[in-house]
Amino acid sequence: MSGQEDIRSHSCRRTRHFNQRLDTMPAAVFSQTKHVFGPLDTRQIQVPRVLVDSAALDSAGVYPHFGTRPEGLTPAEAAVRLAEYGPNVLAGGQQTGVWRLFWRSVLNPLVILLMVLSAVSFASGDLRAGSVMVCMIVLGVGLKLIQEARADSAAAKLKQMISVTATVVRNGADQEVRVSQLVPGDVVKLAAGDMIPGDLRLVETRDLFVSQGALTGESCSVEKFAAERSPVAAPLELTSVVFLGTSVESGSATAVVVATGRETYLGGMAESLSEEPPPTAFDQGVTRFTWLMLRFLLVMAPLVFVLNGLMRRDWTGAFFFAVAVAVGLTPEMLPMIVTVCLSKGALAMSRQKVIVKHAGAIQNLGAMDILCVDKTGTLTMDRVILEKHCDVRLKPSDEVLALAYLNSHFQTGLKNVLDRAILAHTETHVHANIPENAKVDEIPFDFERRVMSVVVRTREGRDCLICKGAPEAIFPRCQNFVVDGQFLPMDHAHIDDLKQEHEQLSADGFRVLAVASREFAARESAHPYSKLDECELTLDGYVAFLDPPKDSARPALQALQAHGVQVKVITGDNDLVARKICKEVGLSTEFVLLGSDVEALTDEGLADSAQRTTLFARVSPAHKQRIIKALRSRGHVVGFMGDGINDAPALRVADVGISVDTAVDIAKASADMILLEKSLLVLDAGVLEGRKVFANVLKYVRMGASSNFGNMCSMLGASLFVPFLPMAPIQILANNMLYDLSQTPIPTDDVDFDQLQKPHPWDIRKLTRFILFIGPCSSLFDYSTFLVMLYGFNCWDTSTPLAAAHSASLFQSAWFVESLLTQTLIIHVIRTNQIPFLQSRPSWPLLSMSVAIMATAIAIPFTPLGGLLGLVPLPAAYWPMLVATLVGYVGLTQLVKTWLLKLKRI
């Protein structure tokens, strides 16, 4: 551990919420060396130029440069600047407007197509067909709008990020001013625990350490100074400036506000996040399927129009028939089915402690084959514990534990996470005899010595000085060390061996502090102890700390891997700590990439390396984003789990961004779903729910597309030899609408176990094969129905207008019923890869709706509604033929489906 990374610099708190004071749970992993971060991708996030330029100024020149003075602005000056620059806020809690949600629902190729077709129907006088299409549009768009409005209302209300106060100097007096009222040029005073209220240039500092892990990913605080010490550093590494969204870990400072609100670095990030995120794998899959069906439509509808026009010389009738065919090929209920499936999934996931913000993320979670996570708090407990207390030979030592406890117990300064870990250790209360040790004096910590000491009086009446700090700060103060009760000198030969011992702990991923002591004769209070007494010490041993892995981490990772999800760890912490944690939870560390390696790789090289790498360590926010993009470029569906400001860009570019309810607001705003419990077990349950959603969406897509394609093939063939329209346009629309209604319970359907065991991303090639092989199966039995009706029921008879009308009505009624029954029944064949009803049963709502639609299809020709649709009652001899058709169709489809599955073609 470097000398600069002392006890206080490892307080390592992580900023959680920007509308609270920083008394949050500390981050729990400590770096052995300072992290080296590459510059952020400035194409994504811009650091204010004025802030960078201010670092080149000396402290005295900062005040005139920004038009202020040490006494601060006057209220009048502040009011003028507030009017000029606006309030110091980033974002409000606005919801997406209803009109925007409506517009988003309407801007769908399928909906637009239906609107065009309905407009054509109305314009050409076919009011019944146009009305049916309008009902389809209202049903699909309306339900989608309602579901999205509910989801947006439940999850989109984010608080204003800035609602605390800051100590501001105005007119020479300190005042508490709401952060939203700060303006450039304000003079601000900072103390331990304060939020940084804007982007500031420091002019005075006293042992100032700032926690900026939320921006950079660093797990530990960094020291800041009034004079710039890294003039050529990347902007976030400048030592004389501090950023909105970070916090003061210890020390104090005076600073001048340089930028506020959206002009800050954090504000620039918020602006970048307001852009539309790239389309996810689910969005791309739905779009590809939509255009696949539109291509089928653009081929089939004109072909049907031309054939019917040429065969019957009735171009007006052919036009309406072609319009109906186009509607029949359109899976107009897809937006509604998808929305209902996703909404049902969101409700189920809420019971699993997962809040879904963007419904489409559920399917992406199910299709996800790579999950990238941070180490801290996800694999680990996000809580530092005292793991080892040992002598210099690394043997357990209760004496060292007692000394460390006394040091932490009696110090009066701000106790950091390491002190709290020592005090919380259960064994300390047994071995540290507190009542018999009275505090005599204390030598506070300072950033020059890098150690802190307390002096206690033992029961023998002697004073014992106990010193604790980083080994490299303690070693020079030691005269000897103790091993098994023997005192040995700290000469060069021994020092090298001692360094190897504590470096072994560091190499195992522990944060190590050395403990040393020295006895004095009792002193009177008139002769206090000082830092000059921190010499000729005896090195007693070490205390080692670790953020241990969660008990649930290993089984959760095993569950995810069993379900086909690779887990990759992306952390800003050092690789030694990360390797140890990965090893303990069962992740391979054979391939590790550091941030410096990522920086040196091209996008192509990174994509190749990222696929085989399990651990990415010492990475910057820009690296995280590049890694996610690289994995997606190789066809993977990538999830990213993060909770810091620095995670927001990566959350946006992932297929599914996952955050937690304790995350910072920007991370939650960027995420697609929010876990109420930071556990991978919860996420694994979400993965299975996502796969259920996708399986049910795919059922509709396969059923609707293959059935509609089969019907259109039948219509195309019938147009060549049937002497009248095989089905009237209004009948096609009614048939299509009833069939769509039969599929509305699909979101309630059960999903077979085998469909949940691995990711199932969209595969348009497999879907196309399914349509081309399964669709024509229905056409074979449609043609058999055509032949039976033409020859068995004499529907060829068109000798008189009356005979022609009767033949057409009988033929159309027979095909209407047969088509609707076969389409509805085949749902139960396509919904499973197993034998329907025997090995896999549908849900009761789906089964009930299927029975209801089939009964409706049988009854319609005998009702007044059938008369309005141009249907007539069917003769008794028709029904045995229909039963045979249904049995044959189901059997053939099952055989073809089984064959395709065996060949792994679907």
Largest CA distance in the chain: 129
Residue 530 burial class via C-beta count within 10 angstroms: exposed 0-12, middle 13-18, buried 19 and up: exposed
Q: Which helix (H) or strand (E) holds 668?
A: helix 665-670
Q: Which long-range contacts (CB under 8 A, 24 or more apart) does 103-109 make?
A: 104/148, 105/141, 105/144, 105/145, 105/148, 105/335, 106/141, 108/290, 108/335, 109/287, 109/290, 109/291, 109/294
CA-based torsion, 841, 843, 844, 848: positive or negative? negative
User: How far apart, in whole angstroms, are the C-alpha atoms of residue 132 and residue 187?
Assistant: 68
* Runs of H (alpha helix) within 489-602: 492-507, 553-562, 575-585, 595-600
Phi, psi of 838 (to 5 degrees): -90, -55
CB 633 within 8 A of CB 650: no
Which of 270, 324, 295, 371 is CA-nearest to residue 668?
270
Handedness of CA 18, 22, 26, 31 (dihedral sign): positive
Q: How far is CA 249 from CA 409, 450, 576, in A?
A: 20, 16, 25
Chain position carrying tokens 């800051």: 166
Q: Own/partner pairs for 887-891, CB < 8 Å, 24+ apart? A: 888/781, 889/777, 889/778, 889/781, 889/822, 889/825, 889/826, 890/825, 890/826, 890/829
3-state secondary structure of 465: strand
In the chain, helix, strand, coil percent, each to 5?
Answer: 50, 15, 35
Measured in Å, how far apart are the chain's first and last C-alpha atoms?
Answer: 56
Q: Report d(CA 612, CA 59) in Å as an integer.
A: 49
Taking Cα atoms as reference points, which of 169, 191, 90 lies closest to residue 666?
A: 90
Strand 638-641 relative to strand 173-178, pairing: unpaired
Q: Within 10 A of 538 (CB to CB), how many other CB atoms are there? A: 18
Catalytic-labelled residue, pool 6, 374, 391, 749: 374
CA 616 to chain centroid, in Å, comes to 18
CA distance 44 to 675: 26
Q: Which of 447, 547, 422 is nearest to 8 (CA)?
A: 447
Known catalytic residue: 551?
no
The residues assigned a catalytic role are 374
